[in-house]
Amino acid sequence: MTAQLIDGNALARQVRADVADRVQALKARGIEPHLAIILVGEDPASEVYVKHKVNDSSQTGLKATLERYPTTMTEADLLARVHALNDDASVHGILVQLPLPAHMDAHKVIEAISPAKDVDGFHVQSAGALMTGLPGFWSCTPYGCIKLLESTGIDLRGKNAVVIGRSNNVGKPMALMLLQKNATVTMCHSATKDLKAHTLQADVIVAAVGRRNVLTADMVKPGAVVVDVGMNRVPEGEPNAGKLCGDVDFDGVKEVASWITPVPGGVGPMTRAMLLVNTLQAAEAASA
């Protein structure tokens, strides 16, 4: 079997078009949805991510303001800036790009963001709301994965879903979102004894480890749906060195799965799209 591609770029375009319509509706009521992005330091990957977020925002008519600060910024100054943005009624969403410089406590900074403006969905209140099924912002990457899965037409109810990876921002919220969609969820991680025994039972697999070839064809049940959150590079000395790749051995797994996300062009664009959705949701809630 050759899997069908779940096209994250195409789905993200649809999401952005919907966001653009809703932005216009808000603007017609005199409200300009506004995302404030804080970037501290000069991490090259962060620079790229932030540039994409600003471009995506302006494409949909959503206002994004980028605030750049030097690595020497103190944590106290950053916290003061976050508090000022919390108090600024013209700002609906606040995103502090991670990683922060080593002298800052990222948890402390994220917890300083008002939960009503936590469009990353990283605040403990957002995480708690997801866990209890209360309204709140969903972390953008797993939220995007849910949309990608739903775009295949698969009904997640009663499906066996395996999440590989247990990070706070992807693996754990992914498992909770799948649970909320009534899947039977198994979380696998570095201490899992026999990963393959679990993945072979899975109708849905989400790989979010950050390591190449975590999932190979022999580990996948024929017809499973595979979502690849990984973003890695092929190391020097191997064919296609330097090329972007996910956690999944795409060429092998696509022969077994029914649907699969590519890297790039799968989860990445949807993560960014869901940030816009969350920002819009924040603006709509603030103006309700």
| Catalytic residue IDs | 53, 97, 120
**Phi then psi dihedrals of residue 66, to 5 deg:** -100, 125
**Rounded to the nearest whole angstrom, what is the least distance from the CB of residue 185 to ligand GUN in the complex?**
22
Choice between 113 and 164, CB closer to ligand GUN: 113
**Is 140 among the residues that bind ligand GUN (CB under 6 A)?**
yes
Residues 19-78 that bind ligand GUN (CB under 6 A): 49
Choice between 152 and 167, CB closer to ligand GUN: 167
Buried b (16+ CB within 10 A) or exposed e, 204-218: bbbbbbeebbbbeee
- Calculate helix-pair angle for 8-28, 140-151, nearest 10 degrees: 110
How many other CB atoms are found less than 10 A from the CB of residue 232? 17
**Is 278 among the residues that bind ligand GUN (CB under 6 A)?**
no
Question: H/E element holding 164?
Answer: strand 160-164
What mask, x for binding ligand GUN by CB under 6 A, covers residues 79 to 118? ----------------xxxx--------------------
Choice between 109 and 245, CB closer to ligand GUN: 109
Residue 212 counted as an annotated binding residue? no
Residue 167 counted as an annotated binding residue? yes
Q: Tell me how far apart the alpha carbons of residues 280 and 169 are, in angstroms, rounded to a whole number.
A: 20
* DSSP three-state, residue 241: coil
Binding-site size for ligand GUN (CB under 6 A) equals 7
**Rounded to the nearest whole angstrom, what is the least distance from the CB of residue 32 to ligand GUN in the complex?**
22
Strand order in the sheet with 4-5: 4-5, 259-260, 225-228, 204-207, 160-164, 184-188
Choice between 97 and 281, CB closer to ligand GUN: 97
Binding-site entries: 165-167
